[in-house]
Amino acid sequence: MIKIDDRKIKAFSTIKRKHEEWYENNIYSNLKKSIDDLEKYSHHDKNLEVYVKILKKIEKRSKEYVTDKKFLKIFYHEAFQEWITNSSKKSISKLEKLFQRLNIPEYSKYLPHKIFNYDQFTKGDKNWGRHQLLNMLGIEVCPYCQRNYITNYETNDGLKKTTADLDHFYPKSLFPFLALSLYNFIPSCQVCNSRFKLDKKVYKKKLLVIYPYSESFEEYNVKFQVSSEEIINNLLNESFDFYVRFNIPHILEIKKRDRVLSSINMFGLDLVYKKSHNNYIRNMLKNIEYYPDTHIKDICKILNGDQKRIYINKVKELALKPYLFKHENNEPLGKLTKDILNQFTIK
């Protein structure tokens, strides 16, 4: 779980501006009209009154509603959530039933997912939409797993495509008011978004995960680790197995700890990291710790010289270089690399 630091994304102010413009031109006027239309009925029903009140609150925030991070928390309507979402695909929400009961004509356009219409954003226009957002964010590795690249590319016909999913941190099926909020969008790989992160699983059990725009494993000192004994045995004898585990500090505040555990569980990080990268770890440690000594012996033989420590250190430095800043450069397996190197005090 790595952090998305919006201050480090050069285009972020442009992204905000474009997103606000798009929202103003495509959504905001519909929102205002929905409020006007629904107000005519709101005195008929208390719940409808509450719904209109929420829409008005959102309208008051104007275009900043979709780009200001603090509104994510304000509009995280847990109490209201059950009322506006359907319990299954076949059923309809209480809100929809209410619209029907009040005989509101063409009522479906007033449902939250129709007002905050994510499909419209997915299609986008020539200036702004899902694709332009992913392109401008420039995030190249999935922040949830840090294993898979997410890539924007152009086809031979000039069509812009991406291998990234745009995950809604607060699922739009459960939090439709947040369906278009910029800080609710997390570019991620398909494995994390579609295979592991299931809306109902998380939020029914209130299993909140780490929020990449403000938290990370690094920040909470959560580390990958292997057993030193196991790995040394493996370096000597490859048939000896070893496992990658998570080390979670005990001092971590209970809520943060819960989010860390939920994240590991939700994205199956303990499973996908457990053994999948053992070859990578083994090769890395061999490249850094074993080969330089052998290489330097060979070089010294050729040069007919001494095996001076200075040469050995230089070759070691060169061998280490490709691994050193993987995490800082946000390359796949960056944190795993950093933690294992630290564990073996290789710097």
Q: Which residues pair with 185 in a beta bridge?
A: 168
Cβ closer to Zn ion: 55 or 145? 145
Q: Which residues pair with 207 in a beta bridge?
A: none
The rounded distance, in Å, linking the Cα atoms of 98 and 92 is 10
Q: Which of residues 145-174 bind Zn ion (CB under 5 A)?
A: 145
Interstrand relation of 152-154 and 223-225 (parallel, antiparallel or unpaired) = unpaired
Binding window for Zn ion (CB under 5 A); candidates: 48-56, 100-108, 142-150, 277-285? 142-150
CB of 194 to Zn ion, least distance (A): 10
Binding window for Zn ion (CB under 5 A); candidates: 163-171, 182-190, 240-248, 268-276? 182-190
CB of 190 to Zn ion, least distance (A): 8
- Torsion angle defined by CA atoms of residues 119, 263, 192 and 178, in that order, rounded to the nearest 10 degrees: 10
Cβ closer to Zn ion: 136 or 142? 142
Cβ closer to Zn ion: 163 or 233? 163
CB of 162 to Zn ion, least distance (A): 14
CB count in 10 Å sphere of residue 139 = 19
Binding window for Zn ion (CB under 5 A); candidates: 141-149, 248-256, 283-291, 318-326? 141-149
- Closest alpha carbon to 169 in 208, 142, 139, 195: 208
Using the rule CB under 5 A, is 142 a contact of Zn ion? yes
Give CA 1 to chain center in angstroms.
Answer: 8
| Contact characters 101-140, Zn ion, x per CB under 5 A | ----------------------------------------
CB of 204 to Zn ion, least distance (A): 22
Cβ closer to Zn ion: 95 or 142? 142
Name 216's Cβ contacts closer than 8 Å, sequence gap at least 6.
Answer: 1, 2, 3, 210
Using the rule CB under 5 A, is 192 a contact of Zn ion? yes
The rounded distance, in Å, linking the Cα atoms of 109 and 150 is 34
Binding window for Zn ion (CB under 5 A); candidates: 10-18, 19-27, 192-200, 220-228? 192-200
Asked if residue 208 lies in contact with residue 262, where contact means CB atoms within 8 angstroms, the answer is: yes
CB of 316 to Zn ion, least distance (A): 33
Give how many residues touch Zn ion by CB under 5 A.
Answer: 5
Residue positions counted in the chain: 347
CB of 158 to Zn ion, least distance (A): 28
CA 42-45-48 angle, to 5 degrees, is 55
CB of 189 to Zn ion, least distance (A): 3
In angstroms, what CA-CA distances link 324 with 5, 73, 288, 333? 21, 37, 11, 12
Using the rule CB under 5 A, is 244 a contact of Zn ion? no
Residues that bind Zn ion (CB under 5 A): 142, 144-145, 189, 192
